[in-house]
Copies of this chain bind each other. A is one copy, B any other.
């Protein structure tokens, strides 16, 4: 009985995710769901991407947070539309939250939409949102064992960024061990080493993104 209820909830989510994708595709919006632990650099990566692409494409951002609007304010300062979802305690975004948010955006004026999910390496991976790509970010400061400890996240990733490469000289992070662990779970995901502080690797990430968007 309990399982039946759970199943219905999940398919309701997935059904709305399909509707979200249709809404995006109908308006030619390419959408990326950005997931990571708290503080790995989701907002910084979005800001670097805005800097690199805002002259070429029209960008908007949906910010998902348990509480606060700190990140939406950072994005707005760049002159980019930012819409804040406060989950009020919930540990992830779901398709229904996104549906309401998307319907509040001028989709016909947007080419690229970032969804910054709640900082959480577990629950966010469990919910389909209907976006085109899942971007997973790790920070070198978190250690190289994250793919082994949080396998679902790295299984659903389409692209993985290793951020804070500028800190690597000061810490014990084995890039090859990390990549090997990702590949063991997921041979499809591309992996880029970046630093939002120094700009290292941002060009390669932007090239990948542009290729996905067909621009």
Contact = CB atoms under 8 A, between A and B. Distances in A.
A70 interface: yes
A150 B39 contact: no
A170 interface: yes
B164 A37 contact: no
A79 interface: no
A181 to B, nearest CB: 10
Copies in the complex: 2
Contacts of A152: 66, 89
Interface of A: 37-40, 65-68, 70, 89, 91, 118-123, 139, 141-143, 145-146, 148-152, 164, 166-167, 170-171, 197
Given A68-B149, A123-B123, A139-B141, 17 more contacts: A37-B39, A37-B119, A37-B142, A38-B142, A38-B149, A38-B150, A39-B141, A66-B150, A66-B151, A67-B148, A68-B145, A70-B145, A70-B148, A91-B123, A119-B149, A120-B120, A120-B123
